[in-house]
Amino acid sequence: MRHAKDHAQTVPSRHRGGGRHARFNHHPSPAGPAGTHSAPGINALAIWKFSKNVEPAKEFIEFLFRKENFDAFIVASNAFNQPPLRDLADHPIWSRNPKFAMLPKEAEYAHPRGWPAKPNDAVRRIENSYVLPDIVAKVIQGMPVKRVMEWGQEQVVQAVKGQLKASG
């Protein structure tokens, strides 16, 4: 079985961002009895404690995240794959395309992956192995839901034991 990510990579470029996919839109995270929660991708930069160039590395990160530089980055990327940061909720990029309108509000519901637990190796293994997208793909491909859920649970058990190979 192919991972869901593999299918996304095989969509012909003529269909990305236009054509028959132009009708697709973003949607807010769904709400349930416990409220609205989402786990957007987290983009992070860090400096190793053992780095030989800590000060220049700090200066470089500060340079990247200066308002004028980060604004230019968001505009150049057309807001693609930007995390929902509260400080950027009023950025003009969100009003350029009506499909972006709901994205800044997602910061109100964002949690790190694995929440309410702290991020950990098992969560990384589950995410990097595409367990959740593969659950959806297996159901779409016709595998019985009960069997899919058993498979998914086994993947999580293996991740917690450190036995699930993190393929990312």
Q: Which two tokens stand for residue 161?
A: 């034991």
User: Residues of the chain with pLDDT > 90: what percent?
Assistant: 30
| 31 beta partners | 36
Residue type, 63: F
* pLDDT given at position 2: 41
pLDDT category at 167 given cuts 50, 70, 90 is: low
pLDDT category at 6 given cuts 50, 70, 90 is: very low
* pLDDT given at position 42: 65
Q: Return d(Cα 115, Cα 36) in angstroms, integer.
A: 13
Distances (CA, A) of 9 to 25, 41, 129, 131: 19, 18, 16, 17
Record the pTM.
0.56
* pLDDT given at position 25: 65
Q: Which two tokens stand for residue 59?
A: 């200066």
pLDDT category at 106 given cuts 50, 70, 90 is: confident
